[in-house]
Each structure stands twice: as structure tokens, then as C-alpha cells.
Amino acid sequence: MKKHIAVISGDGIGPDIVSEAVKTLERISSLYGHEFEFEYLLAGGASIDEYGVPLTQETLERAKSADSVLLGAVGGPKWDGLEGRLRPEKALLALRSGLGLFCNLRPALMYKALEDASPLKSSIIGEGIDIMIVRELTGGIYFGEKTLSSDSSWASDLMKYSVEEIERIARKAFDAARKRKKRVTSVDKANVLETSRLWRKVVSRVAEDYPDVELNHMYVDNAAMQLVRNPRQFDVIVTENMFGDILSDEASMITGSIGMLSSASLGSGKCGMYEPIHGSAPDIAGKNIANPIATILSAASMLRYSFDMDVEAKAIEDAVEKVVNAGWRTFDIAKEGEKYIGTKEMGEKIREVIE
């Protein structure tokens, strides 16, 4: 199969980790007889330096015309002083909304071999953590009207959701649950927010189409607490944009595997954007230290969700698991005193196993 992949390495460790993922995709294409064409685009700080804005219209158009987008990470202290609309993060938001990627899948999965890295007690972890966070990605307070009064004495961000926006993300969550343990927890703040009361009503209505999936509702403050008290009660969590931002950081941290977790942003078509959960870690950029696994696994998700290449995706995921189980570690997942290898070496180990 022939596929056109837009590659946005971004800032900080972005280029280090993305190049390992691209090499892995190249290996897959030659092994399985596909043709992947990579087009490199600038976004975030790299684009600010080159064009003065975090994302140009031209870049967005090019990304739209690709079959899929692979992204490293954007941002860094160099651009921290810029005003809101010029910050590197704005590129991410513009890509998400420009590509219509309303559904963000963030698995929080614990690797058995890395269990010690979790900050939770083993009695709480039990058999391991495996949660899928389904975050609404193009609505809510992130995209509502933003106001700063002319004298800067007040500011506001509007949180707004339509029935249609809630319905389509709810369906994605129930569909995901069907392939898992068939449980959905919808997280909101319906005791305070009007958007949450609508959210609850619409999600409950969608649930009627999925009688085989169990639904429960939880307030977001309680959910934040339950995630550390008893994470194993969760299967799929569906929630609005900002709650999902916050809870997905918490969920990834308790797995102890933040350098290992990928994410997929999907819309109604096949094109998606795939990126690691972690940030751009500017302090270790270019040093061959960063863990490329989350990005390599993001590339695997691209194969699965955008290209329907399940066998190829599984080959990458199995290789990662084998390499980790065999004791290979990058700096971030090595225990104190344990030996570790570099970014490139980790990428190469994974590719060796794929073959």
C-alpha cells in the first residue's frame, strides 16, 4: 500500500525520537511491501523561528492532504514568553481543529516489567493498569471564545458543547469499550456546570445504543481521586477536553511508563495525528538520551487506525514488549544503577526484533 505521511518533528527531543519512529516505519514498509512517503513539515517553535508563526496555513494544508500525521513534541523555554496566539502549543491546537481530530485516545497502560516505576503501591496496582482515556479534543473551554478586557482587569474562556460534539465522542468511547472490558466511565462536573449536565444527558442517551456496555458517571474531582485510590476500576474513561488533559497526565504517571505511552487523535475519516504523550524535554534534546518508544508506538497506532495494517502494528508493539522484557532500558525507565542505552540504540533494538 502507498501512503503519504506528514512528519512534524517539532522541538526539543522531537527530532531525536521521530527519526527512530520513521526508521521503524521504513523497516516495516520494506518488510511488508508498502510504500511510505515522508514529507517533513515545521510546526511549533521550529515554525516560529522559520516563519514567525507556530503553524502556517500552507503547513496545515499540506498536513490535510497527507494520509496521516506523525508528530514529536512542540514547545520549550525559548518561546515561553510569547503571547497566547504565538505560542508553539497553538500549532497543536490548530492542527487538531484544522484536521477535525475530535477524538483523542490516550491509553494508560502499565508494562509489567516496569511496574517498579509506578508511584503506587503494588497492592493498589494488583494485576496492572490498563485504562483508555477518550478525550474530546476540539471543543470545550480550549476552543470557546477568549476575552481579555481592554484594561486587563478580567479575562474569560467560554466552555461550550453542542449535542453533536458530545454524541460523536461518546460513540467513539463506546466503540472502544466494545473491544475492551465493556465499561465506560463518563467524567464530568454535572453538579456545577451546565455543559456537564448536557454531557451526562447525551452520553446516557448514546449508551442506549450499546446495551452490552456498562456506563457509569463520575465527577471529575472524584475521578482524580479514584485514579490513585483504585485505578483498576476503570476501563474506558470519556471526558471533555480539559478534564481529559488533566486526567490523562495523572493516568499516565501512575503507570510509571510515561516515556512509553502513545496517543492517537482521530476524526470522522481515516487521517489521524499520532504523537507521544510526553513533552519536548528540551534539557535532553539532541543528546541521544530520550526514550523513542512512545513515538514508535504512536507510529504503530497510525498503522492500525489510519491504514488498517493490524499485523504490522502488532509487529511493532510485540517488538517493543520483547525488548523491554529482555531488560533493555533507556535512561528514563532504568532503575538507579541499571545500565541503559541511547535513543538510537533503542530504536535499532526494536527494529532488530521486528525482523
Which residues belong to the active site? 142, 189, 221, 245, 249
- DSSP string for residues in 199-258: HHHHHHHHHTT-TTSEEEEEEHHHHHHHHHH-GGG-SEEEE-HHHHHHHHHHHHHHHT-G
Q: Is 92 in the site for ligand IPM (CB under 6 A)?
A: yes
Residue in this structure with the C-alpha cell 482515556, named with its chain if needed: 133
Residues with Cβ within 8 Å of 132's Cβ and at least 6 positions away in sequence, in order, are 105, 106, 107, 108, 176, 177, 180, 235, 236, 237
Closest by CA to 168, choosing from 264, 269, 93, 68, is 269
299 contact choice in ligand IPM, Mg ion, none (CB below 5 to 8 Å, kind-dependent): none
Site for ligand IPM (CB under 6 A): which residue of 26, 39, 89, 214? 89
Nearer to ligand IPM, 136 or 245 (CB): 245
Q: Is 245 in the site for ligand IPM (CB under 6 A)?
A: yes
- Reported residue count of the chain is 355
The answer to whether the CB of 247 falls within 8 A of the CB of 188 is no
Residue nearest to ligand IPM (CB): 89
Stretch that binds ligand IPM, among 14-22, 40-48, 88-96, 323-331 (CB under 6 A): 88-96
For the segment 237-256, give every residue that binds Mg ion (CB under 5 A).
245
Q: Is 8 in the site for ligand IPM (CB under 6 A)?
A: no
| Strand partners of residue 8 | 71
- How many residues in the shown chain lie near ligand IPM by CB under 6 A? 4
92 contact choice in ligand IPM, Mg ion, none (CB below 5 to 8 Å, kind-dependent): ligand IPM
* Cα–Cα distance, 107 to 248 (Å, whole number): 8
**Least gap, CB of 137 to Mg ion (angstroms):** 11
* Cα–Cα distance, 189 to 241 (Å, whole number): 13
Amino acid at 86: L
Nearer to ligand IPM, 280 or 291 (CB): 280
Nearer to ligand IPM, 54 or 231 (CB): 54
Nearer to Mg ion, 243 or 305 (CB): 243
Residues interacting with ligand IPM, by CB under 6 A? 89, 92-93, 245
Residues interacting with Mg ion, by CB under 5 A? 245
